[in-house]
Structure 1
Amino acid sequence: RGLDRRSTMALAQGKWLKTHENLIVTGQTGTGKSWLACAFGRQAARLDHSVLYVRVPRLFEDLALARLDGRFPRLIDKLTRAQLLILDDFGTHSLTDQQRFHLFEIVEERYRRKSTLITAQLQGDAGLP
């Protein structure tokens, strides 16, 4: 499926997490993107990294509610604190300007400090912040 055994084993060793690199897994529906992301998440946890998994559509629902009830700063902190943040199903819905801003804020806060794994039904970097 485009990911060879050697690359998979290298990613499973977790060096990319120690160097705060990011990973984007793209492909069509049903190709195992979420399964692979969860497998890398489980391996990261075995290597003593904190892991947070969230589906992107649910993330934006939670962010909107958190803005209304005052939990927004705590939620952003939770998202930026995890050593590995898995954002699953990116690109399945169009983003509003506010959602794009929130996503940029999260990614920017994590950049070169923590690792982020994104699964997307996109080819290349189309639409990614």
Structure 2
Amino acid sequence: MKKTYAVKPKTEIELQFEDGKSINVTFDAAAIQHLVADFDGGLSEALESEYTELCARIIYAGSMEHESDMSIEKAKQIVSNLDLETLTSIIEDFTDSLGKEKKAEIKEFQKKSMTEFMVKKST
């Protein structure tokens, strides 16, 4: 049986900061590999982490190929300075790159995590 796959390009984003600096983030197989290899619990645990932690891990993993000095601490610092809309967009762009099944699973978790995040933020 012959199968044909429509190849879609990897997702690339650029985070531009007020000071003129920018960071490139790519959602590809290398980013997934960093999520799997660099964190205990692998991809599943990374995808189920708290909202801001998830975004930090995504920025970390997606920028490792571009930013030699990237660390999870630096990614967390970046996330702490992002507005909620940008956080959500980054996570959505990443989940879009994972395919339909994973996206549906992550969307459900995001709803729960976002509610918890908003409750924490208001207290």
Fold-level similarity (TM above 0.5):
no
Q: Which has the higher contact order (CA 8 A, sep 6+)?
A: 1
Indicate the TM-score class for this superposition, using the shorter chain for normalisation: 0.3 to 0.5
* Structure 1 or 2: more helix by fraction: 2
TM-score normalized by the length of structure 1:
0.32
TM-score normalized by the length of structure 2:
0.33
* Structure 1 or 2: more strand by fraction: 1
